[in-house]
Structure 1
Amino acid sequence: MAVVNAHYAFMMVDVGANGRVSDGGVFANTKFGKNMKEKKLSITGPTTLPGCPDAMPFVFVADDAFPLLDNLIKPFAHSNLTKSQAIYNYPLSRGRRIVENVFGIMSARFRVLLSTINVSLAKASIIIMAGCYLHNYLMKRNAQAYLDGLDVEDENKNG
């Protein structure tokens, strides 16, 4: 499980969970998930956004496998959506794609991640964490060169 920011950087990574456990189950068993549920994370309080007079909370965007919490939002279920629910879901879907893109970028650059890693769980966890650290380092050092040749969504582009 990973938390990723809008700039394709890993903010939190937890590896080693059984692949058969649901995303919501993995989240519930991580220190991050437990701290979020117990409101122990140091999340900045609500702040105003440009063009909006009301203070809005900082939130994490998740898919529908996760629980709805004060700082964790998720889309409406896809069946029988109203127009306003579909409109609400669209930007959440865009935000969640950033996480998928990060894993795609990392797999394209560290090709060992494209197939089963036939080592012990402990070694596989180290390989994955090393990939995450290297990804962040290379993104920070020279994102343009690191992303060269990859089809990456421009988060500054509207629509």
Structure 2
Amino acid sequence: MSGFYCKNEDINDFIHHEAKDFQNERLGVSYLFRYDGELVGFVTLSMADLRKERMGSEDRLQVGKENYPALQIGQLAVCDGFEGRGIGTFLCDFSLGKAYEFSEKVGCRFLVLNAKREVMPFYEKYGFKSLPKQEKRIEPVMFLNIFNKKATE
């Protein structure tokens, strides 16, 4: 992992110093992606839930009382020099595939993440929505219903 660097120092610190401990403690699993032997990106996934009460009424399911099972994208990053090549979209596609896989084994309906405001347009284009009433949050919670039409196109 020493070959990974991106513009976000928190992400660099995570992949270089914390990811292995997260994996060992079963707090998150990091998937590394290489192209021609070179590390180009990674995503860290863990289980989470999404509180029904925080969602807008149009996004709530008719079943379930309090929380919906979700897969959390804890970290997602593309290595410097590989931006703009579709790797971020590929990492989202990979995460969505894992969520589908989990939905058949343990239950999983949503992908969730906390997004820095500068990357929110990327996630919105992918189909993620922001939870309502988060104007003051530095990293708003975003979610994607893995079975909605936009996510399966």
**TM-score scaled to structure 1, two decimals?**
0.26
**TM-score scaled to structure 2, two decimals?**
0.27
* Greater Rg over alpha carbons, structure: 1
Q: More helix per residue: 1 or 2?
A: 1
